Protein backbone atom coordinates (compact mmCIF):
# COMPACT_ATOMS: atom_id res chain seq x y z
CA UNK A 1 0.00 0.00 0.00
CA UNK A 2 1.43 3.38 -0.98
CA UNK A 3 2.19 5.92 1.70
CA UNK A 4 -0.47 8.62 1.65
CA UNK A 5 1.29 11.88 2.46
CA UNK A 6 -1.98 13.83 2.52
CA UNK A 7 -3.52 11.47 5.08
CA UNK A 8 -0.40 11.65 7.27
CA UNK A 9 -0.52 15.45 7.07
CA UNK A 10 -4.21 15.50 7.95
CA UNK A 11 -3.59 13.13 10.90
CA UNK A 12 -0.85 15.45 12.16
CA UNK A 13 -3.03 18.56 11.79
CA UNK A 14 -5.91 16.92 13.67
CA UNK A 15 -3.59 15.87 16.51
CA UNK A 16 -2.13 19.40 16.72
CA UNK A 17 -5.58 21.01 16.68
CA UNK A 18 -6.76 18.75 19.46
CA UNK A 19 -3.59 19.18 21.53
CA UNK A 20 -3.28 22.96 21.21
CA UNK A 21 -6.67 24.41 20.22
CA UNK A 22 -9.24 22.42 22.15
CA UNK A 23 -10.88 22.45 25.56
CA UNK A 24 -12.57 19.68 27.50
CA UNK A 25 -16.37 19.67 27.14
CA UNK A 26 -19.10 17.35 28.38
CA UNK A 27 -21.05 15.49 25.68
CA UNK A 28 -24.36 13.88 26.64
CA UNK A 29 -26.74 11.77 24.57
CA UNK A 30 -30.26 11.83 25.99
CA UNK A 31 -31.81 9.97 27.64
CA UNK A 32 -28.47 9.29 29.34
CA UNK A 33 -27.84 11.47 32.36
CA UNK A 34 -24.07 10.94 32.40
CA UNK A 35 -21.85 12.88 30.02
CA UNK A 36 -18.50 11.90 28.57
CA UNK A 37 -15.64 14.36 28.58
CA UNK A 38 -14.07 14.97 25.16
CA UNK A 39 -11.78 17.62 23.69
CA UNK A 40 -13.48 20.09 21.36
CA UNK A 41 -12.44 23.10 19.32
CA UNK A 42 -15.02 25.87 19.14
CA UNK A 43 -16.12 27.03 15.71
CA UNK A 44 -18.88 28.95 13.99
CA UNK A 45 -20.86 28.45 10.79
CA UNK A 46 -22.45 31.51 9.20
CA UNK A 47 -25.85 30.96 7.60
CA UNK A 48 -28.13 33.02 5.37
CA UNK A 49 -31.86 32.48 5.06
CA UNK A 50 -33.61 34.11 2.10
CA UNK A 51 -37.28 34.87 2.63
CA UNK A 52 -39.89 35.14 -0.14
CA UNK A 53 -40.12 38.92 0.15
CA UNK A 54 -36.45 39.29 -0.73
CA UNK A 55 -35.23 39.76 2.82
CA UNK A 56 -32.10 37.87 3.80
CA UNK A 57 -31.50 36.96 7.42
CA UNK A 58 -27.92 36.31 8.46
CA UNK A 59 -27.08 34.34 11.57
CA UNK A 60 -24.65 31.74 12.85
CA UNK A 61 -24.56 28.49 14.77
CA UNK A 62 -21.90 27.36 17.22
CA UNK A 63 -19.86 24.39 16.07
CA UNK A 64 -17.73 21.95 18.02
CA UNK A 65 -14.94 20.04 16.27
CA UNK A 66 -14.48 16.69 18.00
CA UNK A 67 -12.35 13.73 16.94
CA UNK A 68 -14.64 10.84 16.02
CA UNK A 69 -12.48 8.42 18.01
CA UNK A 70 -13.13 10.44 21.21
CA UNK A 71 -16.88 10.28 20.70
CA UNK A 72 -17.35 6.54 20.82
CA UNK A 73 -20.69 5.05 19.95
CA UNK A 74 -23.20 6.28 17.40
CA UNK A 75 -22.74 9.45 15.36
CA UNK A 76 -23.93 12.75 16.86
CA UNK A 77 -27.60 13.51 16.38
CA UNK A 78 -30.02 16.36 17.04
CA UNK A 79 -30.94 16.51 20.71
CA UNK A 80 -27.48 15.60 22.01
CA UNK A 81 -26.17 18.23 24.46
CA UNK A 82 -22.69 19.71 24.90
CA UNK A 83 -21.77 21.60 28.08
CA UNK A 84 -18.93 24.09 27.62
CA UNK A 85 -17.82 27.25 29.44
CA UNK A 86 -20.92 27.39 31.63
CA UNK A 87 -23.34 27.09 28.68
CA UNK A 88 -25.39 24.27 27.17
CA UNK A 89 -25.48 23.67 23.41
CA UNK A 90 -27.94 21.34 21.68
CA UNK A 91 -27.00 19.54 18.45
CA UNK A 92 -29.32 20.79 15.72
CA UNK A 93 -30.04 20.15 12.06
CA UNK A 94 -28.79 22.91 9.79
CA UNK A 95 -30.82 23.51 6.63
CA UNK A 96 -31.11 20.33 4.57
CA UNK A 97 -28.50 18.65 6.78
CA UNK A 98 -30.75 16.64 9.07
CA UNK A 99 -27.82 14.97 10.87
CA UNK A 100 -26.64 18.08 12.71
CA UNK A 101 -23.01 17.55 11.74
CA UNK A 102 -20.63 17.04 8.85
CA UNK A 103 -17.11 15.73 8.47
CA UNK A 104 -14.53 18.45 9.01
CA UNK A 105 -11.80 16.74 7.02
CA UNK A 106 -11.59 14.55 3.91
CA UNK A 107 -10.43 11.51 5.91
CA UNK A 108 -13.44 11.47 8.26
CA UNK A 109 -11.51 11.94 11.46
CA UNK A 110 -13.32 14.93 12.94
CA UNK A 111 -16.99 15.77 13.38
CA UNK A 112 -18.04 19.41 12.89
CA UNK A 113 -21.15 19.43 15.07
CA UNK A 114 -23.71 22.24 14.62
CA UNK A 115 -25.40 23.46 17.81
CA UNK A 116 -27.60 26.16 19.27
CA UNK A 117 -27.04 27.80 22.65
CA UNK A 118 -29.86 26.68 24.96
CA UNK A 119 -28.81 28.48 28.14
CA UNK A 120 -26.58 28.38 31.15
CA UNK A 121 -25.62 25.16 32.90
CA UNK A 122 -27.50 24.48 36.13
Residue 64: pLDDT band by 50, 70, 90 thresholds?
very high
d(CA 75, CA 45): 20
Q: What is the pLDDT of residues 26-62, one digit of tens each?
A: 999 988 888 999 999 999 988 887 888 888 888 888 9
d(CA 44, CA 57): 16
What Å distances lie between residue 11 and 14, 30, 48, 84, 108, CA to CA? 5, 31, 32, 25, 10
The domain ranges of the chain are: 5-120
Cα 77 from chain centre: 10
d(CA 62, CA 8): 28
d(CA 47, CA 7): 30
Cα 88–Cα 18–Cα 3 angle in degrees, nearest 5: 140
- pTM of this structure: 0.85
Amino acid sequence: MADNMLKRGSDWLERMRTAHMSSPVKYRRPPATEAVIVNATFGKTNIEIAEEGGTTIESHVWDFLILAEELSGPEPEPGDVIAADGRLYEVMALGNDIKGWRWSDPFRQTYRIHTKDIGATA
